[in-house]
């Protein structure tokens, strides 16, 4: 699975983004969301059932620029 990067790093923010996207695709009637700590499960129920699981983690990036000359 590829990494999804967001400027905001809270699990709740990620959940809201996913919900908004699915509403735009008219999938919200068949989608159910469960967020427990950093674990998000999206359940699609219709003729069958599918689940997608995400683990939401804050990534650490070093924003400091090195002022030392490069050789």
- Residue 3 exposure: Cα atoms within 13 Å on the Cβ side: 5
How many Cβ atoms sit within 10 Å of the Cβ of residue 41?
Answer: 13
Compute CA distances 34 → 11, 17, 64, 66, whole Å.
Answer: 11, 14, 36, 42
More confident residue, 44 or 25: 44
More confident residue, 59 or 68: 59
Rounded distance, CA 43 to CA 54, Å? 12
Mean model confidence pLDDT for the chain = 76
pLDDT, average across residues 38-56:
86
């Amino acid at each position: 699975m590829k990494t999804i990067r967001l400027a905001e790093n809270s699990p709740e923010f990620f959940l809201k983004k996913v919900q908004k996207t699915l509403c735009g695709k008219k999938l919200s009637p068949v989608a159910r969301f469960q967020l427990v700590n950093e674990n998000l499960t999206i359940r699609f129920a219709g003729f069958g059932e599918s689940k997608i699981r995400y683990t939401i983690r804050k990534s650490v990036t070093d924003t400091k620029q090195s002022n030392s000359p490069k050789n």
